[in-house]
């Protein structure tokens, strides 16, 4: 795909050679990615240099966010969300995801709570860090996988990358930068 089109421009690529990335999170400075088999890396957000590596404590980490000084991961196979201490990689807390039948893929936060994307349902679950469901948002267009929140809008892979408002209404779309967008981060 071209690095620039009428909807977006790629300004930097990092993490080359680290394999298929299932999850991505940003702590304000560094980028955290988790890929196949739970292999994780902390990358310098400016240079892309690998700063550390770690192993997720679950087999299919399909969404991540950095929130409350912890790396949060949602696992598709185990249908749970958990937090890791970013310094030690030790698991701190875990809770069952709301949809135990279909699972979830995509994790973000709004500064107060976690935001979890249903795998095939088009639902975003707002959940407290202790695992309590606050509310559910039904998206107006079918989507699933990856989730980012920019402070006002939800960004979700669909046939492109869809931008939804707080009621779940589709606002706009941008073209993807590569085939098979798996996760997003703002």
Distance CA 56, CA 73 (A): 8
Contacts of the segment 132-138: beta carbons below 8 A, 24+ positions apart: 133/98, 136/98, 137/164, 137/166, 137/167, 137/168, 138/168
Q: pLDDT tens digits for 24-39?
A: 999 999 999 998 788 9
In a structure prediction context, what are the per-residue pLDDT tens digits for the chain, which is 186 residues long?
Answer: 788 988 889 888 888 888 888 899 999 999 999 987 889 999 999 999 999 999 999 999 999 999 999 999 999 999 999 999 998 999 999 999 999 999 999 999 999 999 999 988 899 999 999 999 999 999 998 777 799 999 999 999 988 899 999 999 999 999 888 777 778 888
Q: pLDDT tens digits for 65-98?
A: 999 999 999 999 999 999 999 989 999 999 999 9
Distance CA 99, CA 35 (A): 23
């Amino acid at each position: 795909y071209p690095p620039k089109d009428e909807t977006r421009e790629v300004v930097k690529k990092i993490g080359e050679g680290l394999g298929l990335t299932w999850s991505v999170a940003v702590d304000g400075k560094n980028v955290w990615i988790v890929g196949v088999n739970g292999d994780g890396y902390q990358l310098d957000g400016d240079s892309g240099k690998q700063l550390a590596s770690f192993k997720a404590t679950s087999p299919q980490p399909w969404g991540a966010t950095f929130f409350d000084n912890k790396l949060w991961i949602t696992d598709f196979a185990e249908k749970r969300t958990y937090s890791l201490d970013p310094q030690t990689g030790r698991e701190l807390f875990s809770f069952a995801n709301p949809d135990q039948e279909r699972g979830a893929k995509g994790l973000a936060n709004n500064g107060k709570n976690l935001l979890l994307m249903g795998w095939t349902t088009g639902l975003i679950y707002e959940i407290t860090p202790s695992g309590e469901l606050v509310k559910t948002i039904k998206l107006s267009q079918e989507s699933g996988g990856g989730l980012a929140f920019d402070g006002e809008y939800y960004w979700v892979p669909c046939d492109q990358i869809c931008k939804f408002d707080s009621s779940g209404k589709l606002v706009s779309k941008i073209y993807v930068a590569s085939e098979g967008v798996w996760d997003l981060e703002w």
